[in-house]
A and B are shown apart, each in its own frame.
Chain A
Amino acid sequence: MEILGLYNYVVFAVLLMVGLYCILARTNIVKSIIGLSIFQSAVFLLYISMDKVDGGTAPIIQPGAPADTIYANPLPQVLILTAIVVGISTTALALAVAVRIKEAYGTIEEDKIQEMDREL
């Protein structure tokens, strides 16, 4: 049971690894961006795992709820809520850069782009 309580964090670490490996090992830029978004989601998962309280409920106070109702921690939720929207905007920016690279070089593979740069 104790180890299952840490499962969220282990998955967080594994997702970080997958995301980082995707960024480092793949030369395709779009693939790297997808890896980046996996990395990002791993961080979201870490924060949201922290907000859970046993027997709690979402931090929206119901009018008729008993006074001893336990609520989840609202603070990580606020941070991640904004981070998701910021994340999609920055991903869009990265994709825009990738599109411009494709137009300029005709490819989105980093190794080929480097070759072309060396030839110049």
Chain B
Amino acid sequence: MEWIYFVTCIGILVTMVLAVVRGLVGPSIFDRVLAVNMFGTKTVLFLAVVSFLSGRPDFLDLALAYALINFIGVFAVLLFFQSREVRRAAEAENEARR
């Protein structure tokens, strides 16, 4: 059974590498956010499988914490983009005033 876990881990790790490459290449910033989000999901799976591989399933707490926390960042990004236009307008106003 051990080597099945190991193969699964390697599969997830390779996917993580692909996600990182997408995050580095871009091209748009949303691709990067997508890569971060996907990477988070993969980390949850990786932690879950590794905790079985190392024979300590009680460490699933970590994966659980990730699954709960991971998407807060995406909401922060959404809010950030929402206020972006207003910020730009404010910056332009300030530039004009100077």
Number of chain A residues whose Cβ lies closer than 8 Å to a Cβ of chain B: 5
Residues of A within 8 Å of B52, CB to CB, are: none
Q: Which residue of B58, B59, B94 contacts A106 across the interface (Cβ within 8 Å)? A: B94
A57 to B94, CA, bound (A): 58
B56 an interface residue at 8 Å Cβ cutoff?
yes
Residues of A within 8 Å of B54, CB to CB, are: 57
Closest CB of chain B to A45's CB: distance in Å?
Answer: 17
Q: Are A58 and B94 within 8 A (Cβ)?
A: no
Instruction: Give the nearest-CB partner of B94 in chain A.
Output: A106
Q: Which of B47-98 contact A (CB under 8 A)?
A: 54-56, 58-59, 94
Give me 10 A-to-B residue pairs in the complex whose CB atoms sit less than 8 angstroms apart, sorted by A's number: A57-B54, A57-B55, A57-B56, A58-B56, A58-B59, A60-B56, A60-B58, A62-B56, A62-B58, A106-B94
- Which B residues lie at the A interface, using CB under 8 A? 54-56, 58-59, 94
Given contacts A57-B56, A60-B58, 8 further A-B contacts (CB under 8 A): A57-B54, A57-B55, A58-B56, A58-B59, A60-B56, A62-B56, A62-B58, A106-B94
